[in-house]
Each structure stands twice: as structure tokens, then as C-alpha cells.
């Protein structure tokens, strides 16, 4: 069994990322912490706090699992899910480039990943729309 908050490695392109998943309370919240191996002490901490329409550990869900009350569910323990968070955070310019801790609400990124998973248009127009008759 994996130790809680044990650092894990993820390689994205040429960058090595170290990530951990944790749970804190009160209030009940899940944390996904990302750090590039070549930027010591430069952390991005995504915080998923329970609230209306937002569910974290509890009931039938385990540590690292976050969901909304519609159709979204992500397991922060899965490397593929973490990779998608790294990609989304990169696209939004959220990843640290210098030492320090940047703590942000993880739910907007969650919503973006769930929308991508469900094929929902997030308002990004296709640069080459197909010709219509």
C-alpha cells in the first residue's frame, strides 16, 4: 500500500514533475501538489474544497477522489489525470517558474477537464471550421 502523501514522479515531455495527493480538514478538502523537479520549492497546490455541488473524500469516495454533483468525477491518484491537470495548468500559465507556493482553487481546472472528457465546447473556436453547404 502506498504511503499517504508519498511523492510520485511524472514525466511530461522533457520535464520531470513530482506530485502528491493529500486530504485536510476542517474544512474538508483534497490537495494536489505539483512541483517541477528542476525548480526546487516552486509548488502549485490545487485545492478542492467541499461545497455546494462539490464533493471530496467521504461517503463512498476515497482519498484523492473529487466530483461534482452533475456528471464529473476525477481520481487525483491516477497519473493520467495528473498529466491532464499539468497540461491545463500549463495552458493557463499557472505553473510556478520560481521558488514559492502558489495555491489556487482546483475546481475551475476540474470543470475544464470534465468538459474535455465529455466533449463539451468550452468556447474555443475551431481555427479551421469545416465548409458548410
Mean pLDDT value of segment 30-44: 89
Length of the chain as a residue count: 133
Chain-wide mean pLDDT for the chain? 83
Q: Which of 11-15, 39-43, 52-56, 109-113 has the highest mean pLDDT?
A: 109-113
Question: Whole-angstrom Cα distance, residue 43 to residue 17?
Answer: 10
| Confidence bin at 133 (pLDDT 50/70/90) | very low
Q: Return the pLDDT at 97.
A: 80
- pLDDT at residue 128 greater than cutoff 90: no
Mean pLDDT value of segment 26-50: 89
Cα-based torsion angle of the residue sequence 17, 63, 5, 13 in order, rounded to the nearest 10 degrees: -10
Provide the 10 A C-beta neighbour count for residue 119. Answer: 6
**Contacts with 15 (C-beta within 8 Å, 6 or more apart), sequence order:** 36, 37, 38
pTM of the model: 0.81
116, 87 contact by CB (below 8 A): no
Mean pLDDT value of segment 43-66: 84
**Contacts with 18 (C-beta within 8 Å, 6 or more apart), sequence order:** 7, 8, 9, 10, 34, 35, 36, 37
Residue among 37, 30, 49 at smallest CA distance from 86: 37
Amino acid at each position: 500500500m502506498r504511503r499517504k502523501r508519498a511523492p510520485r514522479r511524472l514525466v511530461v515531455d522533457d520535464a520531470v514533475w513530482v506530485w502528491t495527493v493529500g486530504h485536510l480538514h476542517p474544512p474538508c478538502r483534497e490537495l494536489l501538489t505539483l512541483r517541477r523537479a528542476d525548480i526546487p520549492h516552486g509548488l502549485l497546490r490545487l485545492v478542492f474544497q467541499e461545497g455546494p455541488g462539490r464533493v471530496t473524500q467521504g461517503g463512498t469516495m476515497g482519498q484523492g477522489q473529487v466530483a461534482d454533483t452533475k456528471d464529473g468525477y476525477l481520481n487525483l491518484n491516477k497519473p493520467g489525470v495528473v498529466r491532464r491537470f499539468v497540461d491545463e495548468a500549463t495552458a493557463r500559465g499557472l505553473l510556478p517558474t520560481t521558488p514559492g507556493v502558489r495555491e489556487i482553487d482546483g475546481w475551475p481546472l476540474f470543470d475544464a477537464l470534465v468538459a474535455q472528457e465529455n466533449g463539451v465546447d468550452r468556447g474555443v473556436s475551431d481555427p479551421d471550421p469545416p465548409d458548410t453547404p
